[in-house]
């Protein structure tokens, strides 16, 4: 049986992420990111969490991609972490805002050079005739930015989700799971926690 040992969901999440990092074979920071368009039609994909603290959960993207366009239209997101090795999930919902240019620059500069060049080459989510077209775009971007540094494209940045709910799910025998949801009405308010039926 699982009972939260803190009233701070960020502390609890940090502990769960650390536990997952010791057992997950790949990318314990992988998460489903669900967005919706102007008509409320959802879409979801797996991204990597690139940072979190008490201000929120941060991920990065091409702002002109499908997710980037949807986040601009409807800046509310749901995240889901699923760590199969420890039989746990965490669900997070809340509004998103763009990270500062300085923060986006710092993260972009930490990426491998090939990833930075690729960000210039990829017209993310748009139709691509063939792989050769992509690789030619990569070569062109590489020639356009010889050596270091490779600057961050103006259309590439990050988003910070400020959570209004964080739910922790621990697998239980006979599907009698333990679920606890931390909620708050706004970033300035304190958290309340509720046990939920499985």
Catalogue the active-site residues. Answer: 175
CA dist., res. 166 & res. 76, Å (int): 14
CA dist., res. 139 & res. 156, Å (int): 19
CA distances from 110 to 37, 42, 115, 194 (A): 31, 31, 10, 39
CA dist., res. 9 & res. 123, Å (int): 37
CA dist., res. 181 & res. 197, Å (int): 11
Which long-range contacts does 125-133 make (Cβ < 8 Å, 24+ apart)? 125/62, 125/64, 125/65, 125/66, 125/67
Q: Which two tokens stand for residue 115?
A: 């990833």
């Amino acid at each position: 049986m699982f009972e939260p040992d803190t009233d701070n969901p960020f502390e609890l999440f940090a502990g769960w992420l650390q536990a997952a990092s010791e057992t997950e074979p790949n990318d314990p920071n992988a998460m489903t990111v669900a967005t919706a368009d102007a008509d409320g039609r959802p879409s979801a994909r797996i991204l990597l969490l690139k940072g979190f603290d008490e201000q929120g959960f941060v991920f990065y993207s091409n702002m002109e991609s499908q997710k980037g366009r949807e986040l601009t239209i409807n800046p509310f997101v749901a995240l889901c972490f699923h760590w199969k090795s420890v039989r746990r999930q965490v669900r997070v919902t809340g509004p998103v805002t763009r990270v500062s240019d300085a923060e986006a620059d710092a993260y972009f500069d930490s990426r491998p050079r090939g990833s930075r060049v690729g960000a210039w080459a990829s017209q993310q989510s748009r139709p691509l005739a063939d792989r050769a077209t992509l690789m030619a775009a990569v070569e062109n971007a590489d020639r356009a930015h010889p050596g270091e540094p490779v600057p961050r494209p103006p259309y590439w940045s990050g988003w910070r989700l400020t959570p209004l709910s964080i739910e922790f799910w621990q697998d239980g025998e006979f599907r009698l799971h333990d679920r606890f949801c931390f909620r708050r009405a706004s970033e300035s308010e304190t958290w309340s926690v509720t046990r939920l039926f499985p």
